[in-house]
Amino acid sequence: MALFRTRSAAVYGIDAHLIDVEVDMYSSKSQRDFITVGMPDTAVRESRERIKSALMNSGFHYPAKAITINLAPANVRKEGAGFDLPMAMGILGAMGTVGRMDDHLLVGELSLDGAVRPVRGALSIAVCARKQGIHNLIVPQDNAAEAAVVEGVNVFGVKHLSDVVALLTATEIVAPAVGARNGVCAAHEDTPDFRDVRGQTTAKRALEVAAAGAHNVLMIGPPGSGKTMLAKRLAGILPPLTFEEAIETTQVHSIAGLLPSKSGLLSARPFRSPHHTVSDAGLIGGGSGTARPGEVSLANHGILFLDELPEFPRNVLEMLRQPLEDGQVTIARSNMTLTFPAMFTLVGAMNPCRCGYFGDASKECRCTPAMIQQYLGKISGPLLDRIDMHIEVPAVAYKELRGNGDGTTSEQMRERVLRTRARQRARGYYNAHLPPQQLRKLTALDDAGERTLEMAVRRMGLSARAHDRILKVARTIADLAESECVSAKHVAEAVQYRSLDRNYWS
């Protein structure tokens, strides 16, 4: 009887947790010669055939004994094929082919020929290894660059099962993989430029304010006015990802299986644009088995663009309330509760009615008042209150369309955004995320500003949340103007970005 232990990890939410893989080998006459316990899913149970073929096709002997493998702790469900490699090495360890590997953590899926295939969540697994004090991490070659960004862990990328044996028996010296740890730069050269946008001076100004303060924004206008064009250029004026933001964003994409092969940290802020047929699990996260991140988490530290906003099911849109308020999503299951980050900037675009021409000066709207109310009614008041800015994007006039534009480039806008965000970081918060106590302190108004705000709240019937949104946007406008005080003109501009919801929804 031989007992051997290896270590692996399983990803739950954005974090990985240590899993002990215990292999017991013994003589038995039972027909069940390979048993896996510890709440394994179908993919884990099927590892028997993959491991057997991989060992034999790699030139190793497969024991003629019964094997029991326990994945501990046993009260947590184990999913995926990433346990193939530690289970196979546990069998080789029980046979005496390799020695103890207490300071190693292994993860990888095996092919029938012994090749090691990539897995999800390698970056989270590397973070787990560092927290647990495990100094050596063996991962598939395609995951090595991703995992190597974590300091304090020696990451070894392997292509084949025989490579792992050679590494552990010291028959072949392999240098650890090296990851980029010194910082992250955004790749702005691939982002469309605001210089391409004709007209829409007011909308471009509003989007610059939104980028400077990390504010959510809703654009309303007829078809073809440039709403989608503007939204796609917003990412080009955002500041580059910090190293910590890049780590968290890459973790989410790795867990979702969307990280490009052999890539390290994501360098550009994500821009996610799901179709309006997306399900609630697709947008927020969830699914069968262990919950997976949704679009709101994939857009973490980036932009979530929802085009044709009223076409999304209302129940799906209402689920945006928690992430817009808290910056995270909590998904409850019967056996565990998982939390995913969701600190994104929401950019919505919609027509004013179903035909798109309600309020248009050049084209007649064909919708009845009931049709318009039904269309707009898909966007609830509480959701509108959580969107800081509502801007109108009218049809572009012919002269503007054929002109050369105002010459404003994304580079110029980005420089102003970077300066403004630097002021906010010095305070500890971006303006969109200011807590109430800081908001009152940083937006103290003079008499003219108080009168402007009071008039807007009374006439427009704004909620307390909308009142705070106006103050946050006004603070951003003042920061763009490099003003320490929020004046009446800053408040007046911020109020303009809240007026459209009353024009259309009232």
pLDDT of 126 over the 60 cut: yes
Name the most confidently modeled range: 163-177, 186-200, 389-403, 447-461.
447-461
pLDDT at 183 over 60: no
* Cα separations in angstroms, 21 against 36, 83, 160, 446: 10, 8, 20, 66
CA distance 471 to 490: 9
Of residues 506, 430, 416, 413, the one with CA closest to residue 475 = 430
Percent of the chain topping pLDDT 70: 94
Angle in degrees, CA 22, 26, 27, rounded to 5: 160
d(CA 345, CA 342): 9
Position 32 confidence tier, pLDDT thresholds 50, 70, 90: low
pTM (2 decimals)? 0.88
Distance CA 486, CA 484 (A): 7
Residue 270 pLDDT > 90? yes
pLDDT number for residue 422: 94
Residue 182 has pLDDT above 60, yes or no: no
SS3 143: helix
Residue 506 pLDDT greater than 70, yes or no: no
Is it the case that residue 453 has pLDDT exceeding 70? yes
Phi-psi region of 17 (alpha: psi -120 to 50; beta: other; left: phi over 0): beta
Helix (H) and strand (E) counts for the chain?
22, 18
**Mean pLDDT of the 344-354 span:** 93
Q: What angle do CA 280, 284, 285 make, to 5 degrees?
A: 95
- In three-state secondary structure terms, 457 is helix
**Residue 172, pLDDT score:** 62
Mean pLDDT of the 191-206 span: 87
Answer for the pair 251, 128: CB distance below 8 angstroms, yes or no: no
Model pLDDT, residue 171: 65
- Yes or no: say if 331 and 285 are a contact pair by the CB < 8 Å rule: yes
Contact 248, 266 (CB under 8 A): no
Who wins on pLDDT, 170 or 487?
A: 487
**Start-end of H helices in 257-306:** 280-284, 295-298
- Residue 1: predicted pLDDT: 45
What is the pLDDT, as a whole number, of residue 324?
A: 92
Q: What is the mean pLDDT of residues 199-216?
A: 93
Mean pLDDT, range 449-468, rounded to an integer: 88
Instruction: Point out the least confidently predicted range of 97-106, 317-326, 333-342.
Output: 333-342
pLDDT of the residue at 357: 87
Tokens of 228: 């989608």
CB 72 within 8 A of CB 19: yes
- How many C-beta atoms surround the C-beta of residue 482 within 10 A? 10
CA distance 205 to 61: 69
Q: Residue 414: which pLDDT band, with cuts at 50, 70 and 90? A: very high
pLDDT of 184 higher than 60: no
Between 75 and 56, the more confident residue is: 56
Sign of CA dihedral 276, 280, 284, 285: negative
Distance CA 136, CA 155 (A): 6
> Between these two residues, 254 and 180, which has the higher pLDDT value?
254
381, pLDDT greater than 80: yes
Tokens 């763009």, located at residue:
480
451, HSE (Cβ side, Cα atoms, 13 Å): 5
Higher pLDDT: 287 or 227? It is 227
Which structural domains are found in the chain, ordered by start? 2-168 (3.30.230.10), 184-405 (3.40.50.300), 430-506 (1.10.8)
Binned at pLDDT 50, 70 and 90, residue 114 comes out as very high
What whole-number percentage of the chain has pLDDT above 90?
Answer: 57
Is residue 502 scored above 80 in pLDDT? Answer: no
Integer-rounded Cα Rg, in Å, for the chain is: 28
The average confidence (pLDDT) of the chain is: 89
Helix (H, G, I), strand (E, B) or coil at 489: helix
